[in-house]
Amino acid sequence: MQNTMTQEELFKKLVAHCKEYGFIFPSSEIYDGLGAVYDYGQNGVELKNNIKRYWWDSMVRLHENIVGLDSAIFMHPRTWEASGHVGAFNDPLIDNKDSKKRYRADVLIEEWLAKQDEKIEKEVEKARKRFGETFDEAKYRETSPRVAETAARRDEMHKRFVEAQNSGDLGELRQIIVDCEIVCPISGTRNWTEVRQFNLMFSTQMGSTAEGANTIYLRPETAQGIFVNFENVQRSTRMRVPFGIGQIGKSFRNEITPGNFTFRLREFEQMELEFFCKPGTDLEWFAYWKDFCKNWLLSLGMNEEHLHLRDHSPEELCFYSKATTDFEYDFAFGRGELWGIADRTDYDLSQHAKESGKPLDYTDPVTGERYVPYVVEPSLGADRVVLAFLTDAYDEEVVDKEKNDVRVVLRLHPALAPYKCAVLPLQKGLADKADEIYAKMRKKFSATYDLTGSIGKRYRRQDEIGTPYCVTVDFQTVEDGTVTVRDRDTMEQIRVSVDEAIAYIEGKIEL
Ligand code: ATP
């Protein structure tokens, strides 16, 4: 039986659980933490490494035309001129003069737009209840003056918002906030400053002295390291287009409105693939990667109901992008972007060719055709996908209602679980036999060992960190070499030999 909890409760419990069970800790917590920076504890690092490993295996190892890269975090400052990050990687900021709180102007407007949608849906629901079976939803949406008025105002503001964003008109963004009568949630007033741009890149100085030192940036994405190495990789591998380069690494953004736990961090990790293809074949590859990425998430157990693929409308697309789809996930605090897939055309390579003066075009060795490849980019945040899998996995199961017995269980896919199995000797006298089995299992997959407390308590401890199998060593093990394997989700047990247990668990973690 499932325990019912609100999304807010789930979020609070998940954050507390992550700390309590060694998944995620606030950074430098003994100094009260650092805003939007987190550390992964003993279980979190295993979970994150498993996700990164599966990403690498499915993208790089299993695609014969994809190779990996590990480029440096520091890059020549002109990289960021070429990529547009110096000029355009900005968030529009607005302050409320009374509360002195700072907000992202675009987020305030987006929230207002979402509220209008909610208002409309509420009206429709009310009418549905009022009219019962005779309710004609389409007609109601068209004819209800209240719905029509809200929708018209929403659409007008949305249009102005998209235009203001595309033209970078900060005055208009402020005007929209004023016209929508948006108030500061803290002070409740509309006393707003002008909107200003704030660059999200962290900068530092390179060199030992301040004089003459160069300002360099901590990369805000890993992708540019791939673009500037396009020619090095192509030449040294002699791969023909289409081919891809994948990279996993840290990125840094001085986010203005960080938060929601590890959703929006200032230091985070990205898993990015740049897939280079011939112009004209890009939309086919875009469709391929969209499909591939969706299946990747589902194969690791993501609940499909929580995943939404949102195609960007033509107005929303970046000027250089032919198609973009955001994979959004229903986090416990609300829906947010998890994975961005974009057809970036030849924008990045052309920009670097222009800025560096070095041509980055490609000549096909067979056909002799010469062109700047187009690129399709699936870009996934490692921290966000960890949070998504944890959100899906967290469960409170009522084992015995009368005794108020509830077990917390992380229903992580066995391939992702920090430990695949826990070896539990039933009594201290069986420790030697259990040690032997534990050593054997650890050679095959990550395993843990627990000797203390009742067997029931030990099972629960493993449920709480998501260990899918518990192998119990008892007196019969000494006699005939068999163990029991207890399944985390069903709590059922089977009795098999140690080798069979190993083979069984290996079968479950294979993707
Ligand atoms: P958002 O709109 O949420 O700021 P974005 O569109 O700027 O995200 P991209 O630049 O497309 O994000 O980055 C690709 C991926 O990197 C995102 O889909 C997300 O998973 C991850 N990511 C981006 N910014 C952050 C962050 N501050 N913290 C954690 N992950 C991030």
Protein residue whose Cα sits closest to atom 25 of ligand 1: 264
Residues of the chain above pLDDT 70, percent? 98
Cα of 6 from ligand 1 centre, angstroms: 26
- Angle, CA of 429, 431 and 432, to the nearest 5°: 105
Instruction: Dump pLDDT digits (tens) for 248-258.
Output: 999 999 987 77
Q: Give the pTM.
A: 0.86
In this prediction, residue 210 carries a pLDDT of 60
Q: Report the range of poorest mean pLDDT among 18-22, 85-89, 460-464, 504-508.
A: 85-89
Tell me if 237 sits within 8 A of 204, measured CB to CB. no
In this prediction, residue 359 carries a pLDDT of 95
Q: Report the range of poorest mean pLDDT among 3-7, 57-61, 225-229, 273-277.
A: 3-7
- Judge if the beta carbon of residue 337 lies within 6 A of ligand 1: yes
Cα of 265 from ligand 1 centre, angstroms: 9
- Judge if the beta carbon of residue 265 lies within 6 A of ligand 1: yes
Cα of 54 from ligand 1 centre, angstroms: 20
Question: What's the pLDDT band for 476 if we cut at 50, 70, 90?
Answer: very high
Instruction: Dump pLDDT digits (tens) for 54-77.
Output: 999 999 999 999 999 999 999 999
For a mutational test of ligand 1's pocket, the pick from 107, 264, 293, 325, i.e. the residue with the most ligand atoms closer than 8 A to its C-beta, is: 264
- Judge if the beta carbon of residue 388 lies within 6 A of ligand 1: no
Number of the ligand 1 atom closest to the C-alpha atom of 270? 16
Protein residue whose Cα sits closest to atom 13 of ligand 1: 379
Cα of 430 from ligand 1 centre, angstroms: 50
Cα of 327 from ligand 1 centre, angstroms: 11
Residue 1 has pLDDT above 60, yes or no: no
Rounded to an integer, the average pLDDT of 86-107 is 89
Cα separation values, 34 from 258, 260, 287, Å? 11, 14, 40
Average pLDDT score over the chain: 94
Instruction: Dump pLDDT digits (tens) for 154-191.
Output: 999 999 999 998 888 999 999 999 999 999 999 999 99
Query: Residue 447 burial by CB count (10 A; 0-12/13-18/19+): exposed, middle or buried?
Result: buried
What DSSP state is assigned to residue 96? Answer: B
In this prediction, residue 212 carries a pLDDT of 58
CA distance 367 to 214: 44
- Judge if the beta carbon of residue 316 lies within 6 A of ligand 1: no
Sign of CA dihedral 491, 496, 498, 499: negative
Protein residue whose Cα sits closest to atom 11 of ligand 1: 340
Instruction: Dump pLDDT digits (tens) for 425-435.
Output: 999 999 999 99
Sign of CA dihedral 402, 408, 412, 413: negative
Cα of 61 from ligand 1 centre, angstroms: 25
- Within 10 Å of residue 334's Cβ, how many Cβ atoms? 12
